[in-house]
Amino acid sequence: METFLQIWGGAGYFLAKVFLVRAEFIEKNRILRLLGWFVYLLGLPAWVILLASRQDWIAAAIETAGVPAIMLGIVMTWKQSNNPNKIIDWGIRIFTCIMIITGVLCSIYTFNGIRTLSQILEIIIIFGYLVSNYLLAKRNPFAWLMFMVGLISMSILMYIQDKPILCIQQIISLIPAVIGFIKNMKQRESL
């Protein structure tokens, strides 16, 4: 079952990055962006199950907290807008903060403090993934840089927890993240 979840979660996240990066290279990119966001959402349950099964409460909370940002990405792509409604934007920020606090508190309770390398990696992943999802929904090029931070940290976490498929998937996912970052920076410079 764990292997199936690794393949499901890894494939979902990798394909999402591929679709979102490919969208950066074409002018009419709405379909690819929507596909990327939907595939991202479909891969999410496998990650949450795997992380929760290892008591990686912070990382599981991070993945769960990413749902509103992913939904924001879907809505903004559908509307072809880069400016979210201020109330929805603040709602996502508040939900994200609540999830981060919940995940950290559960982890501290389970392990009697911040005492493991896994917990430290999870805290780094918080900033990498949540900030990247939020910035990507707003089409900010630094989203890709934050993705890279999250990918590297998650790869290390998956390695130390003996999840080789997800470790490799995270490393391979650096490729579209680097491409997305370079493409976005070039677009920003040309404006």
Average pLDDT of the segment spanning 158-181 = 89
Dihedral sign of CA atoms 107, 108, 109, 111 in order: positive
Judge whether residue 147 has pLDDT over 70. Answer: yes
pLDDT range class, residue 191, cuts 50, 70, 90? low
Tokens 């679709």 appear where? 19
pLDDT over 70 at 19, yes or no: yes
What is the predicted pLDDT for the residue at 44?
A: 93
DSSP state of 127: I
Q: So what's the pLDDT on residue 171?
A: 93
Query: Which of left, alpha, beta for 114 (phi over 0: left; psi -120 to 50: alpha)?
Result: beta
105 to each of 9, 32, 48, 120, 160, how far by Cα in Å?
Answer: 25, 37, 17, 13, 22
Residue 159's pLDDT is: 95
pTM for the complete prediction?
Answer: 0.75
The Cβ of residue 107 has, within 10 Å, a number of other Cβ atoms equal to 24
* Residue with more model confidence, 119 or 82: 119
- Residues 128-144, mean pLDDT to the nearest whole number: 79
Burial call 19-54: b when 16+ CB within 10 Å, e when fewer: bbbbbbeeeebeebbbbbbbbbbbbbebbbbbbbeb
Tokens of residue 149, six digits: 């931070």
State residue 143's pLDDT score. Answer: 86
Answer positive or negative: Cα dihedral of 151, 83, 44, 20. negative
Q: Which two tokens stand for residue 17?
A: 């990055």
pLDDT, average across residues 48-69: 86
